[in-house]
Amino acid sequence: NAGVTQTPKFRILKIGQSMTLQCTQDMNHNYMYWYRQDPGMGLKLIYYSVGAGITDKGEVPNGYNVSRSTTEDFPLRLELAAPSQTSVYFCASSWVDEQYFGPGTRLTVT
Amino acid sequence: KNQVEQSPQSLIILEGKNCTLQCNYTVSPFSNLRWYKQDTGRGPVSLTIMTFSENTKSNGRYTATLDADTKQSSLHITASQLSDSASYICVVIRSNFGNEKLTFGTGTRLTIIP
């Protein structure tokens, strides 16, 4: 049982480039989430999903897109990377109360 | 405005000593409160979940308290160990018609020195 896995661990992007952050969970959780964590700030919710085929915006969705075609996978897409998107990104999943977090992806946009 | 404030921002204590971390919140309507431990370079891991009716909950050397009237919570760590060095994040959940919203504090960075 690997829990929540994220790839890549680190990535450096140039301004305007695109990329997809991958997130997979093997706990059969319906709920999945994407957060970003900026230095000295609390985690902010980007997008979440309550099940396959259903996604919704969180607090800070601008500049990101998501899809949820399967229960296991919840990729986060950055279309035109900007320096403001430099952050650590965490994926999480939950069943009822408790959220389980992945190890994070550290993204730098220069 | 829904906010979670934690204090202190950082704390350094000697191994074996106790410490208490504070969390004040203005989140409404309140559903439950969680404390997470985040090791450097890792995702947060849940320590405790406290509902409105719970005043105290323990998880090994960690004891969380909740005063829903004053909207305050604390996390007490007993007999600290080097492995307790981490950020501790207070998260308050508000629930509106089954839709949960999490508000994260900025965390307290705890360093245990030998």
Q: Is B77 on the interface with A (CB under 8 A)?
A: no
Report chain B residues whose CB lies below 8 A from the CB of A99.
46, 102
pLDDT tens per residue across span B24-77 = 999 888 889 999 999 998 999 999 989 888 999 999 999 999 999 999 999 999
Which residues in chain B have their CB less than 8 angstroms from residue A101's CB?
43-45
Residue A37, beta-bridge partner list:
A88
The alpha-helical segments, DSSP class H, found in chain B are none
Interchain CB distance below 8 Å, A104 and B32: no
CA distance A58 to chain B (A): 9
Q: Is the peptide bond before A39 cis (omega within 30 degrees of 0)?
A: no
Identify all chain B residues contacting A97, using CB atoms and an 8 Å cutoff.
32, 49
d(CA B47, CA B76): 12
pLDDT given at position B96 = 61
pLDDT digits (tens, 9 = 90+) for B70-111: 999 999 999 999 999 999 999 998 876 556 788 999 999 999
Give every residue of chain A whose pLDDT is below 50, as ranges.
none
Q: A100: Cβ–Cβ under 8 A, 6 or more apart, which residues?
A: A3, A4, A25, A27, A29, A92, A93, A94, B46
Chain B touched by A90 (CB under 8 Å): yes
